[in-house]
Structure 1
C-alpha cells in the first residue's frame, strides 16, 4: 500500500524536483563507500552491513522515482504533442 502511494506521488511530482533523485543516489553511494570501509574493522562489521542495507533501499527508491519521473515526462510530452497536433517524441 505504501509503495502504491509513493508511486502515485512520484508520478505526479518527481519531474518538478529532479535533484531529489540525485541526492538519494549520492547518499546511497556514500553509504556504500562508508559501509565498505567499515568492513575493514571487525568491530564495525554490523554497522557496515546496515549501511549496505540502507544504501540498497535508498538506491532502489531513487531508481524507481527516476523511472516514474521519466515516464511521466514522456506522457506529458505526448499529451502536449497530441494537443498541438504533432508526432509525440
Structure 2
C-alpha cells in the first residue's frame, strides 16, 4: 500500500553470535596457562555496552566470572537490571 518494505529482525542471530563468541573465549581459556584471563575486563565492557543499547545499567551491575576444572570451563554472567531484577546467563563447554 505505501510501498514500504519492512524486514523482520533476526533476533536469533545476535544470540547465536554471542554464544559462538563465548564458546571461542572458553576454548581459548581452556588452552591457557591457568592464570586469570586478561580479557575479562574487555568482555565485561563489551557486554555492558550491548546491554545499554536496550536498558540503562551501571558498570558495577555486570559481574562476569570464569571457572575452570579439568573437564569443564564455565562463564557466568550476572546482570542487575533496574527494578531489582537479576538476569543470570551461563555458558559451559
* TM bin (shorter chain): 0.3 to 0.5
Q: TM-score, normalised by structure 1?
A: 0.34
Greater relative contact order structure (CA < 8 Å, 6+ sep): 1
**Bigger-Rg structure (1/2):** 1
Flag the structure with higher strand content. 2
Flag the structure with higher helix content. 1
Q: TM-score, normalised by structure 2?
A: 0.33
